[in-house]
């Protein structure tokens, strides 16, 4: 049965999955959501016998219903192959009685690869299906990982260009070097003098700029998004939760139908929303534990019902979570408001005008599946050190936030449910933060010396993604103020004058 997509903010328009992927945002500025969430049509035992690629097809076919079997399997085959350093794509590692779902084995060693490896193929297939002749311009804001993963995914893809904005002083040295060394004539990277929220707000403003859209149309261009607001990013993320559950079943760690808890470090809310969708499609998930860093806007929302971005912004060692405007939360708001687009639009209007909103008591009851916690930077560092000292397993600062929050959850609730922690980035992407957390003496080494030392102490080979940037030349040096993003787009597309 076909699944169509609608806006969270109330437009009557209904579009196919391929059209939603191409547009990125709905015409009214809302996010596309499926008219209904379909139920998984395979049993846990059946999923337990599948490869990652087979699981991806069985999950994604339910939501991307206007893609043919041949089209969808072709996209999956291109996405999940040689660019990953393990055949299992998303392996589970056990440490301290929990399972870390390693989502960082793709070409940029962060979880964004799980969706951004397939999005370019979904998008170009969607363009063909919808007879789009314009060149698609991917416009993306990044807090560190989305940018490189999107650049790697779209580099050299015919019929596309990609421009990534990142906060100039708000990403790790390795993250920045991954982006500014990106090859590809169709790529552009711009560092803005501001934080991630400034970049994300600027991108949304550019998407809504009708005059710019008209000028782009005249030149044969149209915008789309690779950010987590794109439903083509969200759907592939559902897959790895289903796969993780199936692997635990296959290994005899759980019984079929037994609930697991899932812990996700999150800033933009997309990764944990995918787990929520998986739960609502029938995957046996108990609690969804939302882990925040010092920018604890999501923790405060889940515990008080008030979302307030009017607060101090912290640059932390977990920069992909340094976010005060969590775009994907809008999809959850829409659902817990009884799919009332007027209510959703009102909340988003208040957020834009006042920087805050409060949900109703009835909506708060819709948050019962979630448990919010936060871990300050020092607690995350302590967790990296203690986990390494106790087990030899090394995690990155984002995963450390999740692990620290889970420790608190288990202590407060005494809940013994088996648990999966989403491990969202390789420790090699944040070597300085990781190594100085383990031992302060490492602070005297340079970044690539730290890479080699991390490999030695963890007994893990240096990832290909790191080796490639050791000597790669810097190709992108453009910077702009947060009010200069439109001019950067115009220059990239040759629209000046």
For 300-344, the pLDDT digits (tens) are 999 999 999 999 999 899 988 989 999 999 999 999 999 999 999
Q: Do 435 and 445 touch, CB atoms closer than 8 A?
A: yes
Residue 116: predicted pLDDT: 92
For residue 114, report the phi and psi dihedrals to the nearest 5 degrees. Answer: -60, -35
Token reading at 149: 């993963």
Identify the pLDDT of residue 320. Answer: 86
pLDDT at position 226 is: 86
Q: Is 37 helix (H, G, I), strand (E, B) or coil?
A: coil
The pLDDT value given to residue 204: 87
What pTM, to 2 d.p., does this model score?
0.92
Q: Which residues does 412 contact at the CB level (< 8 Å), separation at least 6?
A: none
The residues carrying an active-site annotation are: 112
- Return the bridge partners of 160, or none: 136
Q: Are 305 and 358 in contact (CB under 8 A)?
A: yes
What is the structure's pLDDT at 318?
Answer: 94
Torsion of CA 76, 82, 88, 91, to 10 degrees: -110
Exposure of 6 in the CB half-sphere (CA atoms within 13 A) = 16
What pLDDT, on the 0 to 100 scale, is given for residue 496? 77
Q: How many residues does the chain have?
A: 497
- What pLDDT does residue 497 have? 62
DSSP for 95-151 reads: ETTEEEEE---STTSBTHHHHHTTHHHHHHHHHHHTT--SEEEEEEE-SSHHHHHHH
Q: What's the chain's Rg over C-alpha atoms?
A: 21
User: CA torsion 299→300→302→308, rounded to 10°?
Assistant: -120
19: left (phi over 0), alpha (psi -120 to 50) or beta: alpha
184: number of CA atoms within 13 Å, CB side?
23
The alpha carbon dihedral of 33, 318, 398, 110 has a sign of positive
C-alpha dihedral over 48, 43, 280, 121, to 10 degrees? 60
Listed as ranges, residues in the chain with pLDDT below 50 are none
Location of structure tokens 């597309």: 493
User: Burial of 314 by CB count in 10 Å (0-12 exposed, 13-18 middle, 19+ buried)?
Assistant: middle
């Amino acid at each position: 049965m076909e699944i169509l997509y609608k806006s969270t903010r109330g437009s009557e328009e209904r579009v196919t999955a391929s059209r939603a992927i191409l547009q990125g945002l709905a015409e009214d500025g809302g996010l596309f959501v499926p008219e209904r969430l379909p139920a998984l049509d395979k049993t846990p035992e059946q999923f337990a016998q599948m490869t990652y690629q087979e699981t991806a097809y069985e999950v994604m076919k339910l939501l991307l219903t206007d893609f043919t079997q041949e089209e969808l399997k072709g996209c999956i085959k291109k996405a999940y192959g040689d660019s990953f350093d393990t055949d299992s794509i998303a392996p589970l590692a056990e440490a301290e009685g929990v399972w870390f779902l390693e989502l960082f084995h793709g070409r940029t060693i962060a979880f964004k690869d799980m969706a951004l490896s397939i999005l370019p193929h979904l998008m170009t297939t969607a363009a063909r299906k919808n007879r789009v002749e314009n060149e698609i311009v991917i416009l993306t804001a990044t807090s560190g990982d989305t940018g490189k993963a999107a650049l790697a995914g779209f580099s050299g893809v015919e019929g596309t260009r990609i421009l990534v904005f990142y906060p100039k002083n708000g990403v790790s040295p390795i993250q920045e070097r991954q982006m500014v060394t990106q090859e590809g004539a169709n790529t552009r990277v711009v560092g803005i003098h501001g934080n991630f929220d400034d970049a994300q707000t600027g991108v949304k403003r550019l998407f809504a700029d009708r005059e710019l859209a008209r000028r782009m149309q005249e030149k044969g261009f149209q915008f789309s998004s690779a950010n987590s607001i794109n439903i083509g990013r969200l759907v592939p993320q559902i897959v790895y939760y289903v796969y993780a559950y199936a692997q635990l079943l296959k290994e005899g760690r759980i019984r079929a139908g037994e609930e697991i808890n899932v812990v996700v470090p999150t800033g933009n809310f997309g990764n944990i929303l995918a787990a929520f969708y998986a739960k609502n499609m029938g995957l046996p998930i108990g609690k969804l534990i939302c882990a925040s860093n010092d920018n604890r806007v999501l923790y405060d929302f889940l515990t008080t019902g008030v979302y307030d971005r009017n607060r101090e912004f912290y640059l932390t060692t977990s920069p992909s979570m340094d976010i005060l405007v969590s775009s994907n939360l809008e999809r959850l708001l829409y659902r817990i408001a009884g799919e009332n687009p007027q209510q959703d639009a009102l909340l988003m209007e208040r957020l834009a005008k006042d920087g805050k909103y409060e949900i109703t008591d009835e909506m708060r009851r819709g948050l019962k599946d979630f448990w919010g916690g936060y871990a300050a930077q020092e607690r995350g560092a302590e967790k990296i050190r203690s986990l390494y000292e106790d087990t030899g397993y090394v995690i990155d600062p984002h995963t450390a936030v999740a692990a620290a929050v889970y420790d608190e959850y288990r202590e407060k609730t005494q809940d013994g449910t088996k648990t999966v922690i989403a491990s969202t980035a390789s420790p090699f992407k944040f070597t300085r933060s990781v190594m100085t957390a383990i031992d302060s003496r490492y602070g005297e080494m340079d970044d690539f010396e730290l890479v080699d030392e991390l490999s030695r102490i963890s007994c893990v080979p240096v990832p290909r993604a790191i080796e490639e940037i050791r000597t790669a030349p810097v190709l992108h040096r453009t910077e702009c103020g947060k009010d200069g993003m439109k001019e950067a787009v115009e220059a990239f597309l040759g629209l000046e004058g």
